[in-house]
Structure 1
Amino acid sequence: MSQDLQKIEDTIKESSLWEKTKELLNLHFDFTKDISISVKDVLVVITIIFITTLILRLVLRVLTKKLPEDDKGKFNVVFGYFRWLIYLVILLITLNGLGVNVTAVFAASAALMIGIGLALQTLFQDIISGVFILIDQSVHVGDIIEIDGKVGRVEEIKLRTTRAVTITNKVLIIPNHLYLENSLYNWTQNGTTTREIVSVGVAYGSDVQLVRKLLIQAASSHPNVLPEPEVVVLFDNFGESSLDFKVIFTLSDSFTANMPKSDIRYEIDRLFREHNVTIPFPQRDIHIIGQTKDK
């Protein structure tokens, strides 16, 4: 009998505890006339934020898995800004799902985001482009790139801009959003070596086999030209005033290609003079047809 009474008392205590817990969970805090939040709502929000944090960490780990350590730091900074934005959106959606009237907050947030977006549109484009560069690794420090007709060696990649040094040793600051608007040529993505071309024309009637031999000699003798792949000469075209040739060779540093190409042109001119090969200039034959009138 005493055991039954003890069980009844325990049940009453548990029921009382549950009722008190329910009362505590349903306790509301009124911030404004339209916004009232209960303790249960707060616990739900905390749980949702915790789950969101775990998902964001997983996403961050996946996105930065193949990034170098330096780029991971840059990406984490940008991801941190977007993370707070995601938290804000999740918070508002969760509160709205719990029945909290957040219409006014949604309206104010939307208006604020639109205003900020319009004011900082280019900045956001630069940052987003910088994130894309870090993720897909399309450009690295040391790469030689050409964009919008400008060529430079990349010295630093930031979230908003890419800094490169031109052949004339000028600093080229490229806003990252230009990568979205223009075609980017990465001269060295396939390797540091590049194939370069020097074009030349010779007079009609020249010994084309001799010309080929001299062009190969001029390019191969330069110390900066790599032996492999071998130098190639193309008979490019029968031009209006000349037989057009291209000599193709490989350099280890295309950024300074102008100097070796200039040296090779000097050597071509010397060899052509030595072997009496003529580089013609454009010529035009003018025929004048005159009429005489009898007086």
Structure 2
Amino acid sequence: MELKDIYEFIKDILNFKLIDTDKIDFTLGTILFLVISLVLTSILLKLIRIFLTRKLPLQDKFKFISFFKFVRYIAFIFVIIFTLSISGVNVNVLLTASAALLVGLGFALQQLFQDIISGVLIIIDKSLLVGDIVEIDDRVGRVVQIKLRTTRVQTRNNRIMIVPNHKFMMDTLLNWTQNSPVSRENVSVGVAYGSDVELVKKLLEQCVQSTDGVVKENDVTVLFEDFGDSSLNFSVYFYVENGINSPKIQSDIRFKIDTAFRQNNVTIPYPQRDLHFIEK
């Protein structure tokens, strides 16, 4: 058998029609081309997954593996449609029949894809880590788990807040512990005019430094903020080890300030208003 005859024989086999209608023409060669395309797509996706996860911790790798399984299914669908199209199969028949289903599915999956992509970006660029203290919509909590679609945040009331990952990408995120495990807090107080301001400064520093939860190694700063209508306004700034406990630490400092002021005859004034009566 000559080479030309072998070529014609293979060509006839590949062109053997499994389905032959007016709108669908499906051959054995189409199946072979489709299988090769799926195998190459699978290899390419695996190489991409290995490249992206090579430096990630084991826990994050498992998240990516589950995500790439989902991506692989979507990629296979597009490869099948594209392969059939360039092979001469009229895929418009299939797409037209399922158009309404695809549109509805697209709207349903839009938010899901947005959350998943945001989860991938969070894991890759490490803009958010487990243990970080974050502020979301005026609520403060600690990140306890990061998944591909959602992130779980434990609030100060020991409640779990489930946040869609796209929220971290679209809204401004205030991460209290991104740069340092400690965070800066303050307590403000007003004293009566005529008070010894140096004594006030000393008492505020002592009250803060003697409170549990305050980082002793960091400086305590007392600022004379302003001359108020009824008081001299001071603020004491300090650092805490755990931002979640800031309200309790601030409360303890206020208790100590009240006690210290009473012992040293420093007055916290009431708001004062002067009323002038004009007789007619």
Per the normalisation by structure 1, the TM-score is 0.85
Whether the 8 Å contact between 1:92 and 1:106 is mirrored in structure 2 is no
Corresponding letter in the other structure for 1:82: V
1:61-72 to structure 2, matched below 5 A, reads 61-72=50-61
Residue 106 of structure 1 deviates from its aligned partner by 2.8
1:179-258 to structure 2, matched below 5 A, reads 179-258=168-247
Identity value in percent: 47
Q: 1:72 to 1:108 in 2, by over 3 A?
A: farther
Provide Cα deviations, 1:173-209, integer angstroms capped at 9, x if missing partner: 3233433453222222222211111111112222222
What's the counterpart of residue 8 of structure 1? none
Corresponding letter in the other structure for 1:241: S
What's the counterpart of residue 47 of structure 1? 36
Which residue, out of 69, 75, 78, partners 1:86? Answer: 75
Q: 1:161 to 1:34 in 2, by over 3 A?
A: same
Residue 31 of structure 1 deviates from its aligned partner by 5.7
Whether the 8 Å contact between 1:75 and 1:134 is mirrored in structure 2 is no
Deviating beyond 6 angstroms after TM superposition, the runs of 4 or more aligned structure 1 residues are none
Whether the 8 Å contact between 2:226 and 2:233 is mirrored in structure 1 is yes
Q: Which has the larger Rg? A: 1
Whether the 8 Å contact between 1:228 and 1:250 is mirrored in structure 2 is no
What's the counterpart of residue 87 of structure 2? 98
Provide Cα deviations, 1:101-145, integer angstroms capped at 9, x if missing partner: 111223345432211132354444433433333233222222222
Per the normalisation by structure 2, the TM-score is 0.90
**Does residue 134 in structure 1 map to residue 123 in structure 2?**
yes
Aligned residues between the structures: 280
Which residue, out of 158, 162, 177, partners 1:169? Answer: 158
Q: 1:119 to 1:281 in 2, by over 3 A?
A: same
- Alignment RMSD (CA, Å): 2.2
SS at match of 1:113: helix
Whether the 8 Å contact between 2:23 and 2:93 is mirrored in structure 1 is no
Residue 38 of structure 1 deviates from its aligned partner by 2.6
What's the counterpart of residue 27 of structure 1? 16
Q: 1:108 to 1:201 in 2, by over 3 A?
A: farther
Q: Structure 2: where are the runs of 5+ without partners?
A: none
What's the counterpart of residue 148 of structure 2? 159
Corresponding letter in the other structure for 2:242: D
Q: 1:211 to 1:31 in 2, by over 3 A?
A: farther
Provide Cα deviations, 1:61-105, integer angstroms capped at 9, x if missing partner: 233234321122122212211221111112212221222211122
